[in-house]
Amino acid sequence: MNDIPQQLVNGLTNGSLYALIAVGYTVVYGIVQLINFAHGEVFMIGAFGALSTWFLLFRDNTSVWVLPVMIAGAIAASVATAVIMERIAYRPLRHAPRLAPLITAIGISVFLQEFVRLFYGTIPGFPSAKSKIPFPAIDGVTGSPFHLGSVVIQRPALFTMGALLVCGLFLGWFINKTKQGRAMQAVSQDPDTARLMGIDVDRIIVIAFALGAALAAIAGVAQGLQNNNIDFKMGFMAGLKAFTAAVLGGIGNIQGAVVGGLTLGVAEALATVFVTGAWKDVFAFGLLILVLVFRPQGLLGARVVDRA
Amino acid sequence: MSTTVDRADGANSPDSSAPAPAPRATGKGVPLAYAGSGLMTASALMSWCYDPDVLGDLTLYGNPAPVQLTMLVLGLLGLVLAMSAKGPLRRLGAGLDTSRGAFRLGLGAVAYMALTLAAITAQAGGLVNADPGAWVALVGSLVLVVAGRLGVSRPSRNIGAMRAKGWVEILVLVALVAIALLLVADGLTLRDPWAFVLLLLGVGAAAAGLAGANAFTWLGVTASYHSRVLTLAAFVAAFAFPLTQNGSDANMSIATQVIIFSATALGLNIVVGLAGLLDLGYIAFLGAGAYVGAILSGSAFATIDWQPPFLVTVIIGALFSALLGLIIGSPTLRVSGDYLAIVTLAFGEIFRLAMFNLDGNNGPKITNGPNGIPAIPELNFFGFDFGVTHHLFGIPITRFSNYYLLLLCVIALIIVIFSNLNNSRIGRGWVAIREDEKAADAMGVNVFGLKLLAFAGGAFLAGLAGTIKAHHDVSVTPDQYQFLESAFLLAAVVLGGMGTVGGVLLGAVVLKLLPEKLRFFSEYRLLIFGLLLVLMMRFRPEGLVASKRRKLEFHEDDEHLADKVQTIHLEEKTS
Amino acid sequence: MSTAVAHDTGAPDAPSGRDVLLEARGVVMRFGGLTAVDDVDLTVREGEIVGLIGPNGAGKTTFFNCLTGLYKPTEGEVRLSGTVLPPKPGRVVRAGMSRTFQNIRLFANMTALENVMVGRYCRTKAGAFDSILRTPRFRREEAQTRERAQELLDYVGLGRSTELLARNMPYGDQRRLEIARALATDPKVLLLDEPTAGMNPQETADAERLIFKIRDSGLAVVVIEHDMRFIFNLCDRVLCLVRGKTLIEGTPGEVQSDPRVIEAYIGTGDGTEPDDPDDIDAKIEAQVEAREAREGGRG
């Protein structure tokens, strides 16, 4: 039981990652009531975007100033993917029976995974993505861990938690203080009235997709730093976990996604302590099913508008 | 018969707003169509290539190879269309959109010839090896395209209402089934991927032409008239298939895999197609059955030392699977739709991980973890050993044929369950739930019970198939039952047509057969079916073989479609 | 088999002498801080037609939803023939109360006949095994269902539209089809939510005749309507709701002449009310639907 504090740190680290991805599910769901199943792949593409940026611009340079550029590359790749998929796949189906966008989402998810697996390596100078690709170890954010008593804190873990903190603050500011953020809230409460008030609903939906994608991209970089490698399959499990986190916090509720992510991370870590690591994922999904059955509105309740 | 039919004709071709039945096949299209299809037909009797090693021997005059025979068939189809537009088959032409048919047939034939020329270029080393015949065929196809564009045919009668004598219709249907059997048998024997793709393309071109001419509307109505005959013919053909293989196991092994896949897809179709619930963990139910089958098989690696008769194992496997289905379906009481899809997905992962972990280290030793349970003995049904070759009238029935025939019986069972449920009070309840869940509830439809029934029933059938699959595969491992397989099944259902038997069979056969026959395809298989899901949802969500109701549901705003379906429905009811 | 509908009983007795069928006591429905239905009582006797009127947003449809189990009332209870009804739509229908919807909710892609056959669902029993094995019970029941559905279509005057898709039917026919579907559940009490909305005078007159015919066959009918002439012609008793509360209950004559009723109707127009003058029903409906959509719509 001595490793409980250590597991808590690990849990918070994973939880931060889940939270960053979960925001994307929740923002999109809050506005178009669509589970963007392919969001996990947007996260994966973020990681590959960062890696590609590094290959193209820096190659062998691991000094810390490279990192912001890599993050920018990640965000660019993820946002582009998300916006394109919204435009060509989801938008035409906005009034179709709900089965249609869901099936489309699965199609996109499989397609993106395979696309990266098959074609990433065909770009000159890039390694094949059919197996894991090493992720550059950036100075400062990787390397020797910090020690806090008996607890070991890896540097990438700090990066992940820091990223969540910064993104959380940014989100709070964006949603409440900017014009787009407030329009987003309006659309999620009542799309028809929002449209009548002159809000361009299509644009807000695109912004929601982009916002989620940007956060997922940052999570992708964080994941790469933590694991030292990335692969085309990384989005599936992470996406599923993040969705669990979003449901746990109450889907549609942005604070909920963060709380849900951290809760799930910690719960998983504790499961590792008390049961065994092999059943960690089973535990997480079991939790998802239980929450959906007994408290479908999540821990923090559904979106704020429901309190009308 | 008269008034409604006229109204619907307007619906068939939206551009014809003229009240009086306009003259059919106007303009210069018809002579061109004769010319084009004539050239296509004639080209089949000419030499296409100097090199006798390309695509079977294409060098002979008057002795068409299979690749040329396909073109011959396309040419003859073109002639039939031309003759229906103006000529001896005018009566047939009254209901056909001949120019659209000719246009699409022509396009298909052009694609066919383009690929043939590409094959000649690739295999014989250059386009110079193409003989005049190939060019004649290409020109003929192009002429047919132009003919189709020029002519504007306006069908004056509703083709769904055109009836031939009963025995003629049955003959047509039986002939089609026989052709399908021959095509599959022929396709499986093709070793050359070019030839295989060409065959597919040829079939696609013929289908495009017939669909363009509205012939499939007639076929659909006729098939529903004689559905029993059709089903019987299809099954006779399917049962006859092993007899055509002459004891060779190469194709039977593929055919057996196709049929396992089809059976599972049909089970999934009850959940997705009838009840309208998205089940993304369906493969786990197949897996549950397979594991039960393996553990109770008496394999040296089985963890339970009990080997009941196989029939008992089947029932245990199916019931165990159904129980899992009940558990997974139970959230439907509180959540529905999208959430449920994720619950099933999570369940599928839980299943795979659990099978992985029940290895004796991380949990009780039940499944041997990633190693799975190998060395599952062959099935033995009352002394009938599935592992050895038997003889029927002197024709050898091999190991795979044994399993094939057994699985065919399973498919028959699933089809009976599927269609009988669909045409019953329960089926109506499912439709009502899909249409408007709240109204269905308010009208006393037991929404929760019916959803649960779909889940448990679908799981039951998958579990049943799984127990047989375990013996067929000889070993069971967790990675056979991962999410992508569920998505693959879903793709078959979506491609073929949600809620239809024929469609899903078609989808399953196509999706499973292609990767087996084409190395190229098997590498890109997942990429292609991911794309397929997206494209189908965008452009034809009801699938290749559409169920009328599903089509209406996916096109809520399409008034023309509603009128058209209405007319055909009335036709079916009145005659 | 269709005793409830098949024969006319002639002029009804004085309603008060008959058995009480539906009894709602102290029904309250709150949504957060908003009280949509506030302590409403309703008694309906056999063979009676009761009208429910009130300005937009008075809570009429919400009250209907409370009666039929679509909403779970915050307070109060609903009894049918003396038994308390649980707030579950399916159970309410089986107990013998059925309804139509203000915004028609037919199964659009089913034929008229199939729509009515769905209404028979709760009165038939053939299960999965019967259906798969096509047992004699299944065949018998299926034939009866079909026959009864056709009978009901004839009864509401849609005998010739049997095989039409509901979405292809004219508006007035759709309303009648909804009534046939509701009748298929063999109700003792029929709730009609604005059965003549959007109808022309001819269709309205037909609807009136149909409702009388249903009443004469022994059913009790509760009608929400805005058309005053229609309601005062039709009903034995009228209940007027204003802002969720019962304003007055009485014979059409009494209600018609009550100054408060007139004031309530005119009062909503001038916008001086402290309360939200908009249609509360519609708002609640929209909110509930939005929530349902979020919690997973049509799957």
pLDDT tens digits for C52-81? 998 888 889 999 999 999 889 999 999 999
Of residues B327 and C155, more confidently modeled:
C155
A28-32, B275-279, B554-558: least confident range: B554-558
Q: What is the pLDDT, as a whole number, of residue C1?
A: 41
Task: Say if CB B150 and CB B29 are below 8 A apart.
Answer: yes
Q: What is the pLDDT, as a whole number, of residue C240?
A: 92
**DSSP symbol at C123:** G
The fraction of chain A above a pLDDT of 90, given in percent, is: 52
The Cα–Cα gap between C27 and C77 comes to: 6
The Cα–Cα gap between C202 and C197 comes to: 13
Alpha-carbon distances of A190 from A183, A202, A252, rounded to whole Å = 11, 14, 14
Half-sphere exposure of B92 (CA within 13 A, CB side): 18
Task: Supply B510's token pair.
Answer: 């196509």
The Cα–Cα gap between A252 and A29 comes to: 6
Q: What is the CA radius of gyration of chain C?
A: 19
Please state the φ and ψ torsions of residue B166, each to the nearest 5 degrees: -50, -45
- What is the pLDDT averaged over residues C12-36? 79
C-beta atoms of A33 and C293 within 8 A: yes
Q: Which residues of B481-498 are buried (b: 16+ CB within 10 A; e: fewer)?
A: bbbbbbbbbbbbbbbbbb
Of residues B313 and B392, more confidently modeled:
B313
C-beta atoms of A98 and C295 within 8 A: no
Which residues of B fall within a CB distance of 8 Å from C128? Answer: 421, 426, 453, 457
The fraction of chain C above a pLDDT of 70, given in percent, is: 83
Of residues B224 and A36, more confidently modeled:
A36
Q: Which residue has the tokens 């034929």?
A: C111
3-class secondary structure, A223 = helix
Task: Supply A191's token pair.
Answer: 């799309």
3-class secondary structure, C30 = strand
Residues of A numbered 224-243 whose beta carbons fall under 8 angstroms of chain B's beta carbons: which are they? 236, 240, 243
C-beta atoms of B445 and C292 within 8 A: no
The fraction of chain B above a pLDDT of 90, given in percent, is: 29
Q: Report the Cα C82 to chain-centroid distance in Å.
A: 20
Q: Which residue of C has its CA nearest to A298?
A: C295
The Cα–Cα gap between B445 and A62 comes to: 64
C-beta atoms of C294 and A308 within 8 A: no
C-beta atoms of A308 and C297 within 8 A: no
Q: Where in B225-383 does DSSP place strands (E)?
A: 380-381
Q: Domain residue spans in chain A?
A: 22-294
pLDDT digits (tens, 9 = 90+) for B436-492: 988 999 999 999 999 999 999 999 999 999 999 999 999 999 988 988 889 889 889
C-beta atoms of C297 and A306 within 8 A: no
| Predicted confidence band of residue B7 (pLDDT cuts 50, 70, 90) | very low
Angle, alpha carbons C123-C126-C129 (nearest 5°)? 160
The Cα–Cα gap between C221 and C234 comes to: 10
Query: Chains near A, with 3+ CB pairs < 8 A?
Result: B, C
Q: What is the CA radius of gyration of chain A?
A: 19
Q: Report the Cα B425 to chain-centroid distance in Å.
A: 27
C-beta atoms of C109 and B552 within 8 A: yes
The Cα–Cα gap between A246 and A240 comes to: 10
Alpha-carbon distances of B9 from A140, B2, B16, B93, B160, rounded to whole Å = 74, 11, 9, 14, 11
| Predicted confidence band of residue C299 (pLDDT cuts 50, 70, 90) | very low
B263-267, C215-219, C289-293: least confident range: C289-293
The Cα–Cα gap between B421 and B424 comes to: 5
3-class secondary structure, C254 = helix
Sign of the torsion formed by the C-alpha atoms of B178, B180, B184 and B189: positive
Task: Supply B552's token pair.
Answer: 């209406």
Q: Which residue has the tokens 């189990």?
A: C69
Average pLDDT over chain B reads 84
Start-to-end Cα distance in chain C: 37
- What is the pLDDT averaged over residues B96-123? 89
Q: What is the pLDDT, as a whole number, of residue B127?
A: 83
Residues of A numbered 126-185 whose beta carbons fall under 8 angstroms of chain B's beta carbons: which are they? none
Bridge partner residues of C239 (DSSP): C52, C249
DSSP B137-166: HHHHHHHHHHHHHH-B---SS-GGG----H
Task: Say if CB B74 and CB B205 are below 8 A apart.
Answer: yes
pLDDT of B13 above 50: no
Report ipTM (2 d.p.): 0.89
Q: Where in B82-216 does DSSP place strands (E)?
A: none
Task: Say if CB C157 and CB C176 are below 8 A apart.
Answer: yes
pLDDT digits (tens, 9 = 90+) for C96-115: 999 999 999 999 999 999 99
| Predicted confidence band of residue C287 (pLDDT cuts 50, 70, 90) | low
Is the CATH number 1.10.3470 carried by domain A22-294? Answer: yes
**For residue B13, how many other CB atoms are within 10 A of its CB?**
17
H/E stretch holding C98: strand C97-99
**For residue A104, how many other CB atoms are within 10 A of its CB?**
28
C-beta atoms of B444 and C101 within 8 A: no
Q: Which residue has the tokens 């038939």?
A: C124
Q: Which residue of B has its CA nearest to A118?
A: B524
- What is the pLDDT averaged over residues B285-309? 88
Residues of C numbered 15-74 whose beta carbons fall under 8 angstroms of chain A's beta carbons: which are they? 31-32
- Helices B29-43, B98-124: crossing angle, 10 deg rounding: 30
Task: Supply A53's token pair.
Answer: 């940026």
pLDDT of C196 above 80: yes
pLDDT digits (tens, 9 = 90+) for B229-252: 888 888 888 888 888 777 677 788
Q: Report the Cα B283 to chain-centroid distance in Å.
A: 19
The fraction of chain B above a pLDDT of 70, given in percent, is: 93
Q: What is the pLDDT, as a whole number, of residue C213?
A: 94
DSSP B364-410: -BSS-GGG-B--PPPPEETTEETTS-EEETTEEE-HHHHHHHHHHHH
Sign of the torsion formed by the C-alpha atoms of B141, B144, B150 and B156: negative
Task: Say if CB B363 and CB B348 are below 8 A apart.
Answer: no
| Predicted confidence band of residue A1 (pLDDT cuts 50, 70, 90) | low
The Cα–Cα gap between A98 and A194 comes to: 22
| Domains delineated in chain B | 29-237 (no CATH), 256-521 (1.10.3470)
Q: Which amino acid is at C139?
A: R
* Residue from B555, B528, B265, B256 nearest B406 by CA: B256
Q: Which residue of C has its CA nearest to A306?
A: C291
Q: Which long-range contacts (CB under 8 A, 24 or more apart) does B360-369 make?
A: B361/A278, B362/A276, B362/A278, B362/A279, B363/A278, B363/A279, B365/B303, B366/B295, B366/B303, B367/B291, B367/B295, B367/B303, B367/B478, B368/B301, B368/B303, B369/B478
Q: What is the pLDDT, as a whole number, of residue A223?
A: 95
| Predicted confidence band of residue C189 (pLDDT cuts 50, 70, 90) | very high
Query: Chains near C, with 3+ CB pairs < 8 A?
Result: A, B
Q: What is the pLDDT, as a whole number, of residue B240?
A: 84
Task: Supply B575's token pair.
Answer: 């005659």
- What is the pLDDT averaged over residues B73-96? 84
3-class secondary structure, B88 = coil
Task: Say if CB B113 and CB B141 are below 8 A apart.
Answer: yes
Task: Say if CB C96 and CB B403 are below 8 A apart.
Answer: no
Angle, alpha carbons B120-B121-B123 (nearest 5°)? 65
Give this prediction's pTM: 0.84
The Cα–Cα gap between B568 and C284 comes to: 41
The Cα–Cα gap between B563 and A58 comes to: 63
**For residue B434, how many other CB atoms are within 10 A of its CB?**
24
**For residue C148, how many other CB atoms are within 10 A of its CB?**
22
H/E stretch holding C31: strand C20-31
C-beta atoms of C299 and A306 within 8 A: no
* Residue from C79, C89, C91 nearest C42 by CA: C79
Alpha-carbon distances of B457 from A263, B183, B290, B319, C280, rounded to whole Å = 36, 34, 17, 10, 43
* Residue from B508, B480, B431, B436 nearest B268 by CA: B508
Which residues of C fall within a CB distance of 8 Å from A307? Answer: 32
Task: Supply B509's token pair.
Answer: 């056969």
* Residue from C68, C117, C114 nearest C94 by CA: C68
Which residues of A fall within a CB distance of 8 Å from B349? Answer: 240, 281, 285
Please state the φ and ψ torsions of residue B574, each to the nearest 5 degrees: -80, -30
- What is the pLDDT averaged over residues B421-446? 93
